[in-house]
């Protein structure tokens, strides 16, 4: 059996987007001049139970939540447009959404595979029946958080009771790395059969973070599950297509170009910038229907999805003599 390619399986930016080439429905849509929203990122709430120093969402209206009736309508439209998967994230902490369990049930009812990003502190309050409907769950942490014994025990119970879920960690490295916490989450991941541990640089200050130094601090520790993502390299934005393939739907009921919108403009923000909104999510059918025209990404000074945009642009182009590969 071939070994799992962790970087291709569990990361998106900065890599060759092989998954695009493996989906027959997406390839068919590009031949017809369209891009289906294969994978949406869904942010149901801006509320959160933490105030992380690295948070890229800290300047959003933290009281904002998506009405559940609107959420169902948007999910229905996305399903009809071809959506096969969703990542539920924030915004805020998705487990703070009052209709969280109903949201999971509705995505499952519509046949959409579910991934989730959470800070993990409220997982023990969600019943196993709900968690069993999730394909994967990535637990976020950062250098300002401690991996204490109480949290370890709570997480151990949740993970062992829901071993059908693919669990992972994503730890944000700042200019002051917390090596003790990093070592603890790697140890926990190794002991609990996690798929990976992603160490990712704080995207507001990636130039101050050297992953080679972080790796040297972990010498002697089994880091075979670790994906080191420095994120120093990016391109200037051009024609944007990732926004149609993988749109971000926020609690303000708007569709945004990508999950890196906060970092993309000349002046980074800790909110979703209006300049990178494609329109009202309740009109997503009209937004996606116009996808033959690229979204203007030239305003983005930092783009981490150039590989996706280049490939999607090529797939939308007419090519003659296709047999001569």
Q: List pLDDT tens digits, range 278-292.
A: 999 999 999 998 767
Residue 260, pLDDT > 80, answer yes
pLDDT at position 158:
97
Whether 7 maps to a domain, the answer reads no
pLDDT at position 2:
64
The answer to whether 181 and 145 are in contact (CB under 8 A) is yes
Whether 133 maps to a domain, the answer reads yes
Whether 321 maps to a domain, the answer reads no
Domain count across the chain = 1
Q: What is the pLDDT of residues 95-151, one digit of tens each?
A: 999 999 999 999 999 999 999 999 999 999 999 999 999 999 999 999 998 999 999
Whether 225 maps to a domain, the answer reads yes
pLDDT at position 1:
47
- List the structure tokens of 153: 């025990």
Whether 12 maps to a domain, the answer reads no
The residues, ordered by sequence, that sit 6+ positions from 131 with a Cβ below 8 Å of its Cβ are 123, 137, 158, 162, 165
Percent of the chain with pLDDT over 90: 70
Sequence length of the chain is 325
Bigger pLDDT: 318 vs 140: 140
Whether 135 maps to a domain, the answer reads yes
Bigger pLDDT: 247 vs 6: 247
Q: How far is residue 257's CA from residue 275's CA, in Å, rounded to a whole number?
A: 9
Bigger pLDDT: 231 vs 28: 28
Q: How far is residue 215's CA from residue 98's CA, in Å, rounded to a whole number?
A: 40
Q: Where are the beta strands (DSSP E) in 19-125?
A: 39-42, 85-88, 113-118
Residue 56, pLDDT > 90, answer no
Residue 79, pLDDT > 60, answer yes
**Angle between helix 100-109 and 68-81 (nearest 10):** 20
Three-state secondary structure call for residue 238: coil
Once rounded to an integer, what is the mean pLDDT over residues 43-72? 90
Whether 325 maps to a domain, the answer reads no
Closest CA to 59 of 254, 262, 280: 262
pLDDT at position 104:
98
The CATH number of residue 65's host domain is 3.20.20.70
* Parent domain of 185: 17-51+61-265+274-313
Whether 99 maps to a domain, the answer reads yes
């Amino acid at each position: 059996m071939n070994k799992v390619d962790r970087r291709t399986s569990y990361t998106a930016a900065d890599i060759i987007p092989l998954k695009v080439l493996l989906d027959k429905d997406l390839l068919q849509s590009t031949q017809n001049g369209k891009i289906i929203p294969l994978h949406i990122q869904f942010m149901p709430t801006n509320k959160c139970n933490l105030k992380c120093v690295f948070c890229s969402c800290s300047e959003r209206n933290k009281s904002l939540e998506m009405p559940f009736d609107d959420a169902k309508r948007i999910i229905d439209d996305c399903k009809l447009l071809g959506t096969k998967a969703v990542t539920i994230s924030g915004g805020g902490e998705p487990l703070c959404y009052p209709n969280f369990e109903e949201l999971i049930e509705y995505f499952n009812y519509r046949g959409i595979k579910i991934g989730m990003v959470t800070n993990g502190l409220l997982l023990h309050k969600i019943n196993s029946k709900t968690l069993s409907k999730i394909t994967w769950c990535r637990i976020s942490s950062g250098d300002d958080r401690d991996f204490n014994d109480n949290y370890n025990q709570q997480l151990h119970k949740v993970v062992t009771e829901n071993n059908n879920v693919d669990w992972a960690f994503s730890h944000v490295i700042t200019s002051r790395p917390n090596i003790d916490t990093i070592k603890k989450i790697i140890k926990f991941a190794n002991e609990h059969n996690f798929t990976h541990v992603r160490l990712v640089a704080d995207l507001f200050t990636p130039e101050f973070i050297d992953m080679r130094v972080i790796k040297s601090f972990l010498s002697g520790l089994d880091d075979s599950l670790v994906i080191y993502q420095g994120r120093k390299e990016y391109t200037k934005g051009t024609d944007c297509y990732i926004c149609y393939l993988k749109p971000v739907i926020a609690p303000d009921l708007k569709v945004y170009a990508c999950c890196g919108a906060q970092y993309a403009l000349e002046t980074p923000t800790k909110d979703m910038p209006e300049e990178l909104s494609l329109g009202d999510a309740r009109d997503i059918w009209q937004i996606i229907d116009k996808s033959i025209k690229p979204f203007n990404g030239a305003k983005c000074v930092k783009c981490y999805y150039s590989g996706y945009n280049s490939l999607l642009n090529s797939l939308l182009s007419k090519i003659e003599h296709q047999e001569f590969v």
